[in-house]
């Protein structure tokens, strides 16, 4: 199909809204991306904001896992201590992946505790609760994290961001499993 310059220009205008424009001087309607990703600046910022909010919540949760790991006592010590170490190690890797995904969108990941605490809906626990209360607190955190993750997935799906969608769905599976296991432990 042969396209004239007017058709190529019209195609470029239509695709510009999707971050794609015709190459200058193109005669065959070739397109190139006007940046390295398919999203507009506003879409990238929205995705990065959602990821940063998830990052902040995950960082607060991570620190709570560390606090509880260090301070658990009682007859459940070994079970909880070892399980929390597995969880915070996993969370640390997930946090790194979230921060790096924010960078994919050319944005800055939150990186200070004051930023995390401001953006997070999870709250720190400066106490040393009983092992039973630790588990109850973590169960509540899991619900908040999964809700936040689904919000991020919904946004990613709406913007055809398969990378974020796939990554966060993996986190959802992990957290849902932790919720089930800790819930079963606490019965």
Residue 29 pLDDT? 53
What's the pLDDT at 13? 39
Containing structural domain, residue 24: 1-34
Q: Which residues contact 163 (CB under 8 A, 6 or more apart)?
A: 101, 104, 156
Count CA atoms within 13 Å of residue 27 on its CB side. Answer: 1
What is the band of 185 on the pLDDT scale with cuts at 50, 70, 90? confident
Give the domain CATH number at 95: 1.20.1260.10
User: Total structural domains in the chain?
Assistant: 2
Shared domain for 57 and 3, answered yes or no, is no
Same structural domain, 97 and 157 = yes
Is the same domain home to 135 and 48? yes
Residue 22 CB: number of other CB atoms within 10 A?
Answer: 24
Is the domain of 70 the same as that of 45? yes
Question: Are residues 177 and 115 located together in one domain of the fold?
Answer: yes
Q: Is the Cβ–Cβ distance between 7 and 26 less than 8 Å?
A: no
Give residue-wise pLDDT tens across range 34-83. 555 789 999 999 999 999 999 999 999 999 999 999 999 999 899 999 99
Same domain, 24 and 75: no
Categorize the per-residue pLDDT at 28 as very low, low, confident or very high, splitting at 50, 70 and 90.
low
Grade residue 30 by pLDDT with cuts at 50, 70 and 90.
very low
Same-domain pairing of 53 and 145:
yes
| Residue range 153-180, pLDDT digits in tens | 999 999 999 999 999 999 999 999 999 9
């Amino acid at each position: 199909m042969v396209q004239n310059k007017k058709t190529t220009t019209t195609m470029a205008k239509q695709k510009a809204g999707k971050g794609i424009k015709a190459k200058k001087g193109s005669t065959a309607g070739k397109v190139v991306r006007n940046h390295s990703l398919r999203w507009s600046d506003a879409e990238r910022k929205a995705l990065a904001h959602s990821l940063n909010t998830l990052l902040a919540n995950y960082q607060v949760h991570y620190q709570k896992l560390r606090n509880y790991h260090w301070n658990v006592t009682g007859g459940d010590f070994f079970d909880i201590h070892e399980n929390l170490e597995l969880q915070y190690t996993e969370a640390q890797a997930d946090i790194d992946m979230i921060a790096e995904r924010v960078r994919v969108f050319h944005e800055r990941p939150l990186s200070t505790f004051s930023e995390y605490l401001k953006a997070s809906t999870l709250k720190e626990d400066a106490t040393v609760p009983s092992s039973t209360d630790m588990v109850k607190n973590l169960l509540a955190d899991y619900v908040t994290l999964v809700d936040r993750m689904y919000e991020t997935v919904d946004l990613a799906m709406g913007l055809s961001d398969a990378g974020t969608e796939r990554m966060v769905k993996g986190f959802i599976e992990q957290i849902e499993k932790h919720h089930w296991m800790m819930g079963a432990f606490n019965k």
